Amino acid sequence: MAALDQQELLRDFPDVTESDLASEFLHAYLTPEARKNISLELCARILLTEPELHEKLKEGHKSQNSEALDNLCAYLRRNAWRFQPQLEEMNELLREIFSDGRITLIAKGEWKGPSWMPPKNSSKDAHIDPETTAYIENLRIPFQHNDKLRNRLDRVFSSSKDTFLVNTSGDSFYIAIDEANVASRKHDEAFEDQHGRYPILKEIIRGLRRQIGSSKIPIRFVVAGTMIPEDHFQSTVGEWDDFRWCSDTGSFNDPEDHRRYVSQFMPDSFSSSVTGQALIARMWYWLRGRHRYTASFLAVLLRNNYQSPHTLLGGRNIAIIIGIHHLVPQGFSNGHLAWSKCIVQLLLF
**Inter-residue long-range contacts of 4-10, CB under 8 Å, 24+ positions, other chains counted:** 6/64, 6/66, 6/69, 10/61, 10/64
If you ran DSSP here, which 8-state letter would residue 121 be given?
A: G
Identify the pLDDT of residue 59.
92
Contact 26, 57 (CB under 8 A): yes
Instruction: Among 10-14, 84-88, 309-313, name the one with the lowest average pLDDT.
Output: 84-88
Instruction: Among 17-21, 60-64, 126-130, name the one with the lowest average pLDDT.
Output: 126-130
What is the C-alpha end-to-end distance of the chain, expressed in Å? 61
Identify the pLDDT of residue 43.
92
Read off the pLDDT of each residue in 131-154 and give the average, rounded to a whole number. Answer: 55
226 pLDDT band, cuts 50/70/90, is confident
Contact 184, 225 (CB under 8 A): yes
Contact 284, 258 (CB under 8 A): yes
Question: What percent of the chain is modeled with pLDDT above 70?
Answer: 64
Q: How far apart are CA 145 and CA 170, in angstroms?
A: 14
Output the pTM of the full model: 0.34
The sign of the dihedral angle between the CA atoms of 72, 78, 81, 87 is negative
Instruction: Among 51-55, 133-137, 173-177, 222-226, name the one with the lowest average pLDDT.
Output: 133-137
Average pLDDT score, the chain: 73
Amino acid 176 reads A
Read off the pLDDT of each residue in 135-144 and give the average, rounded to a whole number. Answer: 50
CA 110 to each of CA 103, 217, 320: distance values in angstroms, whole numbers, following the listed order: 10, 11, 47
Q: Which is nearest to 26 in space by CA: 39, 8, 11?
A: 39
- Is 80 exceeded by the pLDDT of residue 314? no
Read off the pLDDT of each residue in 150-178 and give the average, rounded to a whole number. Answer: 57
- Is 60 exceeded by the pLDDT of residue 263? yes
Q: How far apart are CA 54 and CA 19, in angstroms?
A: 8
Identify the top-confidence range among 181-185, 225-229, 248-252: 181-185
